[in-house]
């Protein structure tokens, strides 16, 4: 049997996305509390996300100032898949932490703040995931705007802070020549 490059590259990309999700899951977490969630979007769902990225940019910054959201949406459209990595909002109750800027977790929660340890967990999970993509030579880029838009999609879980990582296998890195 002969497998053409398109078929093999598609399989490679999905294998990488699956390993990225595994890397995020197994990444170290503060106090050993796992609140990481992952998912992969392709085709129609990926394009719905790209539309939501553009809409979010316009809603937040106005038509004239949303150019970087449009650029990121175009990158998502040009990618074959997007890995979303998020953390469910919770508080770690680490005594004397105060990394969030509040006296303690109760004060952070009362103010509606976000646990800094949670963001550290997200950063480590995302870093572990993109390490997998880099090792597999799959072009990728961590995008805050993708995560912001994902959080605003109706079918995504609530109270989750997301980051998005579009993936691409092509002859030239689509994330390189960004204006």
Helix (H, G, I), strand (E, B) or coil at 110: helix
Own/partner contacts of 175-179, CB < 8 Å, gap of 24 or more, are: 175/75, 175/139, 175/140, 175/141, 176/139, 178/71, 178/75, 179/71
Instruction: In whole angstroms, give the CA distance from residue 64 to residue 150.
Output: 22
What is the pLDDT tens value at each position of the chain, 179 positions in all? Answer: 999 999 999 999 999 999 999 999 999 999 999 999 999 999 999 999 999 999 999 999 999 999 999 999 999 999 999 999 999 999 988 888 999 999 999 999 999 999 999 999 999 999 999 999 999 999 999 999 999 999 999 999 999 999 999 999 999 999 988 66
- Residues 175/144/132/51 CA torsion (nearest 10 deg): -60
How many CA atoms does the CB half-sphere of 111 hold within 13 Å?
12
Q: Which helix (H) or strand (E) holds 21?
A: helix 5-26
How many Cβ atoms from other residues are within 10 Å of residue 67's Cβ?
Answer: 12
User: What's this model's pTM, rounded to 2 decimal places?
Assistant: 0.94
The CA distances from residue 64 to 69, 75, 121, in Å, are 11, 19, 34
To 5 degrees, how large is the angle CA 155–CA 157–CA 159?
135
Query: What is the radius of gyration, based on Cα positions, of the chain?
Result: 17
Could you tell me the residue ranges of all domains in the chain?
Answer: 5-89+115-168
Instruction: In whole angstroms, give the CA distance from residue 177 to residue 19.
Output: 27
pLDDT at res. 93:
87
pLDDT at res. 102:
95
What fold characterizes domain 5-89+115-168? NADH Oxidase (3.40.109)
Instruction: In whole angstroms, give the CA distance from residue 142 to residue 76.
Output: 11
pLDDT at res. 82:
98
To 5 degrees, how large is the angle CA 14–CA 82–CA 138?
55
């Amino acid at each position: 049997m002969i497998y053409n490059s398109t078929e093999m590259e598609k399989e490679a990309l999905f294998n990488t996305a699956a390993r990225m999700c595994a890397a995020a899951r197994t990444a170290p977490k503060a106090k050993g509390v796992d609140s990481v969630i992952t998912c992969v979007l392709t085709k129609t769902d990926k394009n719905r996300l790209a539309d939501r990225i553009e809409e979010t940019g316009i809603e937040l910054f106005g038509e004239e100032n949303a150019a970087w959201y449009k650029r990121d949406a175009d990158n998502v459209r040009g990618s074959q898949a997007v890995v979303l990595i998020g953390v469910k909002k919770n508080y770690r109750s680490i005594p004397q932490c105060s990394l969030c800027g509040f006296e303690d977790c109760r004060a952070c929660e009362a103010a509606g703040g976000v646990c800094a340890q949670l963001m550290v967990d997200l950063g480590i999970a995302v870093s572990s995931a993109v390490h997998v993509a880099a090792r597999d030579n799959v072009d990728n880029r961590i995008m805050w705007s993708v995560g912001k838009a994902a959080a605003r999609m109706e079918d995504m879980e609530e109270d989750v802070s997301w980051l998005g990582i579009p993936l691409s296998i092509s002859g030239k890195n689509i994330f390189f020549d960004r204006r």
